[in-house]
């Protein structure tokens, strides 16, 4: 099981329908944009986690705000965000995007829009809703899978590389440049196996 599969698996048909209505798009376009958003955010997280400070900050954020419990009522969480409810640390999608992408958010939205057929404003509405989903998936994997920070870095780098090799490389490169700088994830082979077993055990194998 791959991390991208887990992320896309969180978006049920009902969820995609709600999101599509919210941004004014067809479900297929929304699904395509969601895949691009998840891939870009994974690339950004892998880039951040490639240094000790960034990895430590990610671990602290997961421990503080993203234990994965919100995945138990994902429709409720997303519904609240779409209705403009008060953002907490766990649902502060704009804050998450700021930490991961910084000033590259509009560049990301433009590139994702071009690949999915949406306009930039539609993608910009979708990004802060999907960012907390990614963080909660990572948080649940970290807590329930007992992943250390080194394991988490390996998982993120391996997942980003798989996204790049799986047809998202041009998109991620356009937004983030060479995310991993040509380097191999330090625990890529171990991380890949760990990723599959941890995610399969926690989220179920699809």
Backbone torsions φ then ψ of 204, nearest 5 degrees: 85, 150
Domain boundaries, the chain: 3-200
Only one residue has tokens 């403009």, namely: 84
Provide the greatest CA pair distance for the chain.
42
Between 192 and 112, the more confident residue is: 112
The per-residue pLDDT for range 14-27, each reduced to its tens digit, is 999 999 999 999 99
What pLDDT does 89 receive?
A: 79
Contact 196, 155 (CB under 8 A): no
pTM assigned to the model: 0.87
* Torsion-angle region of 167 (φ positive above 0: left; ψ -120 to 50: alpha; else: beta): left
Tell me: the pLDDT tens digits for 79-134?
A: 989 987 667 778 899 999 999 999 999 999 999 999 999 999 999 999 999 999 99
Instruction: Look at the alpha carbons of 13, 18, 19, 24 in this order and tell me if their dihedral is positive or negative.
Output: positive
Encode pLDDT of 31-62 as tens digits. Answer: 999 999 999 999 899 888 888 999 999 999 99
Asked if 205 contacts 13 with a C-beta cutoff of 8 angstroms, the reply is no
How many C-beta atoms surround the C-beta of residue 118 within 10 A?
24
Residue 173 predicted with pLDDT over 90: no
């Amino acid at each position: 099981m791959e991390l991208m599969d887990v992320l896309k698996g969180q978006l049920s048909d009902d969820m995609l329908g709600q999101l599509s209505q919210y941004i004014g798009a067809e479900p297929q376009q929304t699904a395509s944009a969601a895949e691009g958003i998840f891939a870009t955010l994974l690339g950004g997280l892998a880039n951040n986690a490639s240094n000790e400070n960034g990895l430590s900050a990610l671990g602290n954020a997961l421990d503080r705000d993203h234990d994965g419990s919100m995945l138990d009522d994902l429709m409720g969480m997303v519904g609240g965000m779409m209705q403009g409810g008060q953002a907490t640390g766990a649902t502060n999608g704009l804050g998450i995007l700021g930490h991961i992408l910084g000033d590259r958010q509009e560049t990301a939205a433009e590139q994702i829009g071009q690949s999915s057929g949406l306009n930039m404003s539609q993608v910009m509405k979708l990004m802060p809703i999907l960012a907390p989903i990614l963080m909660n998936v990572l948080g649940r994997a970290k807590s329930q899978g007992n992943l250390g920070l080194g394991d988490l870095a390996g998982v993120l780098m391996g997942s980003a590389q798989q996204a790049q090799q799986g047809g998202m490389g041009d998109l991620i490169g356009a937004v983030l440049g060479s995310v991993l700088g040509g380097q191999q994830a330090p625990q890529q082979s171990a991380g890949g196996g760990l990723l599959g077993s941890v995610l399969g055990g926690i989220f179920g194998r699809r």
